[in-house]
Amino acid sequence: MGDGARESKLAGQFFDAAIGLLQRVRDEDSGEIAAAGAAIAETVAAGGRLFAFGAGHSSLAAQDVVYRAGGLALMNLLVVPGVVGVDVMPATLGSALERVDGLASAVLDSSPASAGDVLVIISLSGRNALPVEMAMNARALGLKVIGVTSVAYATETKSRHVSGTYLKDHCDVVLDSRIAVGDAELTHEGIEAPFTPASTVVTSALMQAMMAAAAEELVRLGVEPPLLRSGNVDGGHEWNGRVMTEYRDRIFYRH
């Protein structure tokens, strides 16, 4: 630490809060993480396809497992135009689109997802029309649905879907991020609003833990996990080229 530098008390408190949440999901979601990993592994072994979806900041954790060094080559991003991040202008439009009925069914109907595939749906609150409808329609199409959400929202907020249900109600496996309603870990005297969200840290960790469980189960099934290597290490591009050629009919982000 440089001369005259002071440690930030609040920065340390955020790390403590994030570490505490990570320990909770490690201990309390272990069975669900294993079940989600097994669903992914069984789908890969059976020739199925993998998709991940999240709206707004929930999309960050979905993108974190797509076309990623050290990740499964078969994970594809299910894109809903206007809600993939904060790049749409105005950014508030993305939030509005999450509440539009019918959008999810239109996206699924025009996507390559079909019966037997896996769709991971990430939504912190799980209350908006888009993730609820996405899960309902995906299951109706015969997909396995893995939900990553904070179950607390279902008891402390009102659903925005016409059914009155939440994402967690339409999943084969639910990974609970344990994030408190409002997604802000810290408060401080002199600061009116709570601040520092931890949902991205925890949700991304859940996604990567699920991928670790999937790789473990694939080995148990006698299947070499189709992983990507970093393009910044020698031989990485050649390795990835072979993987993408072998699984080209199940990889859609190259099209």
Q: What is the pLDDT of residue 140?
A: 96
The model's confidence at residue 2, banded by pLDDT at 50, 70 and 90, is low
Q: Which residues pair with 186 in a beta bridge?
A: 195
Residue with tokens 């991971």: 120
Query: What gap in Å lies between CA 212 and CA 53, rounded to an integer?
Result: 19
Q: 146 near 117, Cβ under 8 Å?
A: no
Average pLDDT of 51-70?
95
pLDDT of residue 111: 95
The pLDDT score that the predictor gives to residue 3 is 57
Mean pLDDT of 148-163: 92
> 89: which DSSP letter?
S
- Phi-psi map region of 150: left, alpha, beta (phi>0 left; psi -120 to 50 alpha): beta
Amino acid at the residue 121: I
